[in-house]
Structure 1
Amino acid sequence: MTELDPLSIAVIRGRLEQIADEMDTVFERMAFSPVISDAWDRADGIYSPVDGSMIVQGNRGLPIFVGTMQYTVASVIAGASEVRQGDTFIVNDPFAGGTHIMDTKMVRPFFYRGELFAYLANTGHWPDLGGRVPGGFGAAATDCYQEGLRLPPVKLFSGDELNADIVAILQTNSRLPDDVLGDIDAQATALRAGETRLTELLDEYGPDQVRAVIDALRERSARQMRSYIAEIPDGTYSFVEEMDNDGITDEVLRIDARITVAGEELTIDFSHSSPPCQGPMNSVYAATVSSSIVAIKHLFPDIPINSGIFEPITFVIPDTVFLNAKPPRPVAGCAAETSQRIITAVMGALAEAAPDRVPAGSSATVNNLSIGGVREDGTPFVLYVFLGGGYGGHPAGDGLSNGCSLMSIGRVQSIETLEQRYPLRFRKYGLRDGSAGHGRHRGGFGVHFEFEFTAAEGQASLLGDQAKTAPVGRAGGTPGQPSSPWFRIGGEQVALPMISKGENVLLRAGDIVCLRTPGGGGYGPTAERDPEAVATDLEHGYLDDETARRIYAHTA
């Protein structure tokens, strides 16, 4: 057995994380799609050669992707009859450890001196792979076949030789064929960069010692997670989140999270949630599990991310609920909408058990907006943007304004980038007045995102949520404001048929798109807010005099 010392464990852990981070950086810098290069909608990681379980994730990748990718790698292992040095698989099937069709994974076996040591994998959001609407976010899709091209694990590279036939299929099915080739190159190069660095690490420390450290890190994370769970009082805790609708039928979808704590073990039961839905708000098993882990990591952020954190947690997600959908259910809203409400449901249940660790409700929608069309020069475009919102106030302070989503979905592309790349002109991008919930610690503010469309014609689709139910206040705080999107078509303001969802809205030059995201809920009674904090909010324009008097009894 390899002897390990604390210094070696720390150094090798740091090197493994650095390898994943370098893969992230290479992918980001080379990607053609701005949603990857500018908005960071991607992730990289290293996975077990035995079962695909997570070894390490990059610090800058989306946590939900790294969690789901272990299921993707497992599907590659299960389906591949043979893997060789230089092979790389591509897969975007949501039901093979994915999220939605646009999130495209590549998986590369890593060999050291002829022995399979690990798998390297990454995910990037490709802006278009076909489907009923540009960008793939069809709010009225009734099956996954309407959402775009779906690939099971197939070998894109054999011995580092690109399979041109698969590339041709991908390009033929995309409205942006040139971007497809660029993003393939970026993802594949990132994996090869990881291969180079991991080889250097094994050359320096040897495969036995590195493997021993990987095992030790997994055991440490599992032990640390168990110790944190043991701090939560035994019992069953529950919370229900309600999503606006499924995009087809205007009826709420219930996410019923019931968490049972028993010593060092924790069970999350979603079996009382709504059944599979007709529209695209279904989730897949991998995304539901990963979203739940993201929620738990909000409470225990210092636990290193690897497969060990999953060991003390049991999931009950039958296929009779919309959180474990099977083909041919549509799932476009899984990754960026339903996943966030899973996070808030789990955090809501944990708030009963550990109220001093859980903030008030936060913005839990990114308002997936996609617009497709043709520029004046005849080139096609597909715009995809997602937005931040307000975080909930928490025991230690106010919530963050315009924060990234709870699933850590990167960052909003800059106005300059969007105006340069797409036919639009911004009218306003700033904090949304009055959106924050009040309390001892107020919530953060959502954003007001408004632009004028400048091309002759385009097709717009929006797949959002949280327009009916606002982020909750906690410990006596008030809720934030819900989402509020609208379009102005031909000078007339138009609401979407499903309030937060709609597809193929015809835009012409001069039409306006406005997205207003939720503000976070407040934490604690308003009477306990520090008068100096109220005065500071007045000074910064976050409050007006009337609201300060009415809510906080503040007088100048």
Structure 2
Amino acid sequence: MAKTSSPQETTSRVDPVTLTVIEKGLQQICSEMDLVHEKTSFSPVISEAFDRSNGIYGREDGRMIAQGELGLPIFLGVMQETTRSVLEERGPLDDGDVILINDPYRGGTHLMDVKMVRPFYYNGKLWCYLSNTGHWPDTGGMVPGGFNSTATEIHQEGLRIPPVKLVEKGVMDPEIVSLVLANIRVSEERIGDIKAQIAALNAGAKRLTGLLDRYGEDVVNEALVELEDRSERMMRANIETIPDGTYSATAYMDSDGVVNEPLEIKVKIDVRGGDISFDFSESSPPCMGPMNSVWATTLSSVYVAIKHIFPDVPMNAGCFRPIEVKRPKGTFLFAEYPRPVAGCAAEASQRIMEAVFLALSEAIPDKLFAAPAGTSGNISLGGVDPDTGQGYIMYYFSGGGYGGWWEGDGLTNGCSTIGISKSQPVEILEQRYPLLFDRYALREGSGGMGRFRGGFGVSYRVRLLRGEGTASFLMEHGRYGPPGILGGEAGAPNQITISQGGTTTSPEHFSKGEGYVLKAGDWIDVETPGGGGYGPPGERSEEARRADLEQDYYPEPGDPAK
């Protein structure tokens, strides 16, 4: 995305009150789409964990017009690229058509993030596109749940769907549905998720029609121009608070799941006035395993990182204009067919963000924080419940500690840095699947020490109650804990322990592994990372140290570590 000069101040004919009402109205439409999507989905990962997003995108180029506050941030830039890809390949679409797509190389993420794009017509003319994403618990592939840690090509990861017309003029194509359901596990649940996504798009079309009826097409169009220009001005004003200069940092991934060596994400950030550019060209080359990141995910990761730093800028295409991300061709952050990418959206994205945070902490320590846990903690368990004879796939992700910041300790058990998802209630999972959570607790002492310590991760044990299941893991920060900044210590690294027939093991690749066959009574322990510390530990106040000891968060000097 090329740099642009600062927009000139313009005088909008839309009065400030109407402008605000239209802005909030568009956001509310997207949030209502999110709620419809959530409440009608069959899969707990959508209905309980909110792993989905809905938005409104421009008819000419797919640019973001609005996204609801309930949607996952990582999809901010991703769905913009997905919609653009659909426009380029499918051309004009009729009213009532819905395109189905999950191809990572066409503006996607991993295969489990399945997207739908619907044209929206107003008074017989194309006005915009409505797009959404839902994480399906399975799209086929070598392992239940799709998080295959040893894949060496995309075809091993699951069903790859180019932009195909799932719905034509309001009628769902049964042949497309049959093809999709025949290639995934537990297909009876997926048809419910398919209809939920379509219902969310339909709800958006109804509400958007109402907004345009109320204010008129001309007024809303003018408001969109003004809203984008305002976001650009706000973003540039925030970037101007960063001292001009070049800043760099390196973040490390445990491995690619195949070759047991770290991957490097190296970023150079150049700040000049109200423009900021990102260069990842010195990062590791394309990897054999599934930790490659496609361009849409890499781009969106930078956008979300900047939004973490400057959260008050309204989200639309205007706030992206001052941000240039150079395409890192020749690295694992610009995956091309047939590179495997199962870990790109959930894991590689968070390391990209970590690199950005570390680099800019040198320039604006009063606006940044030490590294968060930075992993979604993906775990999948699939099998057949002998009590019902039905197949199942449990996909679960968990929270971790956020880094200490300039005014306090980090958040404990926070969600991943790419989303606003929450862990699914264990009671719901225990009702649906043949398993039991023996323990779910804070991982006390896991936050890195500092003037302000990192927040804590979580510790849980899940045990298979009956039958046989196959587990796979795709996590991060097992080799290295989340780093501290300004002299702070790193948080505790991720730890996985598997018990099979009374014998305990841990994955060779620290946080990644697959093919673990569990029988009744076998269990899995997961200890998620704590956040990094902010500032030297010696500067931590006596009051804060005493509180930690009183809560028994850390052992006293000389006591054995927890």
> In which range does the TM-score fall when normalised by the shorter chain?
over 0.9
- The alpha carbon displacement at 1:540 in A equals 2.5
Q: Is the 8 A contact 2:450 2:487 kept in 1?
A: yes
- The alpha carbon displacement at 1:537 in A equals 2.3
Q: Is the 8 A contact 2:400 2:456 kept in 1?
A: yes
Q: Is the 8 A contact 1:319 1:326 kept in 2?
A: no
Q: Is the 8 A contact 1:236 1:258 kept in 2?
A: yes
CA distance in 1, matches of 2:377, 2:310: 28
SS in 2 for 1:185: helix
**Pick aligned residue for 2:98 from 88, 109, 128:** 88
**Pick aligned residue for 1:527 from 538, 545, 548:** 538
Q: Is the 8 A contact 1:389 1:518 kept in 2?
A: yes
Please give the residue correspondences for 1:323-362 in structure 2 after superposition, counting only pairs within 5 Å. 323-362=333-372
SS in 1 for 2:421: coil
SS in 1 for 2:436: strand
CA distance in 2, matches of 1:363, 1:354: 21
CA distance in 1, matches of 2:558, 2:85: 55
CA distance in 2, matches of 1:18, 1:64: 19
Equivalent residue, structure 2, for 1:408:
419
Question: Are 1:16 and 2:26 counterparts?
Answer: yes
Equivalent residue, structure 1, for 2:406:
395
> Structure 1's 547 and 44: CA in aligned 2 closer, same or farther, altered over 3 A?
farther
CA distance in 2, matches of 1:547, 1:361: 28
- The alpha carbon displacement at 1:2 in A equals 7.2
State the Cα deviation string for residues 318-341 of structure 1 (Å, max 9, x = none): 320000100100000001000110
Q: Is the 8 A contact 1:292 1:342 kept in 2?
A: yes
State the Cα deviation string for residues 430-463 of structure 1 (Å, max 9, x = none): 1112211111211100110211111221111101
CA distance in 2, matches of 1:224, 1:89: 34
The one-letter amino acid of 2:63's match is: S
The one-letter amino acid of 1:35's match is: V
Equivalent residue, structure 2, for 1:296:
306
Question: Are 1:154 and 2:164 counterparts?
Answer: yes
Question: Are 1:278 and 2:326 counterparts?
Answer: no
- The alpha carbon displacement at 1:316 in A equals 1.4
CA distance in 1, matches of 2:87, 2:150: 34
State the Cα deviation string for residues 476-497 of structure 1 (Å, max 9, x = none): 2211111111101111111112
Question: Are 1:76 and 2:86 counterparts?
Answer: yes
Question: Are 1:540 and 2:551 counterparts?
Answer: yes
CA distance in 2, matches of 1:347, 1:221: 22
Question: Are 1:452 and 2:463 counterparts?
Answer: yes
CA distance in 2, matches of 1:473, 1:81: 48
Equivalent residue, structure 2, for 1:101:
111
CA distance in 1, matches of 2:499, 2:292: 30
Instruction: Give the TM-score of the pair, scaled to structure 2.
Output: 0.96
- The alpha carbon displacement at 1:425 in A equals 1.1
The unaligned stretches of length 5 or more in structure 1 are: 551-556
- The alpha carbon displacement at 1:409 in A equals 4.5
SS in 2 for 1:56: strand
CA distance in 2, matches of 1:308, 1:449: 42
Equivalent residue, structure 2, for 1:465:
476
**Pick aligned residue for 2:195 from 166, 185, 190:** 185
Equivalent residue, structure 2, for 1:554:
none
Question: Are 1:479 and 2:472 counterparts?
Answer: no
Q: Is the 8 A contact 1:439 1:528 kept in 2?
A: yes
Equivalent residue, structure 2, for 1:384:
395
SS in 2 for 1:174: coil
**Pick aligned residue for 2:251 from 233, 241, 246:** 241
Question: Are 1:322 and 2:332 counterparts?
Answer: yes
Please give the residue correspondences for 1:160-171 in structure 2 after superposition, counting only pairs within 5 Å. 160-171=170-181
Q: Is the 8 A contact 2:70 2:420 kept in 1?
A: no
CA distance in 2, matches of 1:353, 1:116: 45
- The alpha carbon displacement at 1:543 in A equals 2.6
CA distance in 2, matches of 1:354, 1:81: 44
Equivalent residue, structure 2, for 1:507:
518
> Structure 1's 262 and 101: CA in aligned 2 closer, same or farther, altered over 3 A?
same
Q: Is the 8 A contact 2:372 2:482 kept in 1?
A: yes
Equivalent residue, structure 2, for 1:266:
276
CA distance in 2, matches of 1:205, 1:307: 22
SS in 2 for 1:337: helix
Equivalent residue, structure 2, for 1:553:
none
State the Cα deviation string for residues 36-75 of structure 1 (Å, max 9, x = none): 0001100011000000010011101101113200011001
SS in 1 for 2:382: strand
Q: Percent identity of the aligned residues?
A: 51
* Stretches of 4+ aligned residues off by more than 6 angstroms: 547-550
CA distance in 1, matches of 2:432, 2:542: 45
Equivalent residue, structure 1, for 2:5:
none
> Structure 1's 548 and 120: CA in aligned 2 closer, same or farther, altered over 3 A?
farther
Q: How many residues align?
A: 550
The one-letter amino acid of 2:389's match is: G
Q: Is the 8 A contact 2:81 2:296 kept in 1?
A: yes
Equivalent residue, structure 1, for 2:208:
198
Q: Is the 8 A contact 1:461 1:505 kept in 2?
A: yes
State the Cα deviation string for residues 245-298 of structure 1 (Å, max 9, x = none): 100001111000110011111110000000110000000001001011111111
> Structure 1's 392 and 548: CA in aligned 2 closer, same or farther, altered over 3 A?
farther
- The alpha carbon displacement at 1:24 in A equals 0.3
Instruction: Give the TM-score of the pair, scaled to structure 1.
Output: 0.97
State the Cα deviation string for residues 100-140 of structure 1 (Å, max 9, x = none): 00000011100000111110111000001100000111111
Q: Is the 8 A contact 1:445 1:519 kept in 2?
A: yes
SS in 1 for 2:393: strand
CA distance in 1, matches of 2:280, 2:338: 21
The one-letter amino acid of 2:256's match is: D
Q: Is the 8 A contact 2:110 2:342 kept in 1?
A: yes
**Pick aligned residue for 2:450 from 439, 444, 450:** 439
CA distance in 2, matches of 1:334, 1:2: 41
CA distance in 2, matches of 1:363, 1:86: 42
State the Cα deviation string for residues 181-225 of structure 1 (Å, max 9, x = none): 100110000100000000000000011111111111111111111
Q: Is the 8 A contact 2:402 2:412 kept in 1?
A: yes
The one-letter amino acid of 1:528's match is: E
SS in 1 for 2:29: helix
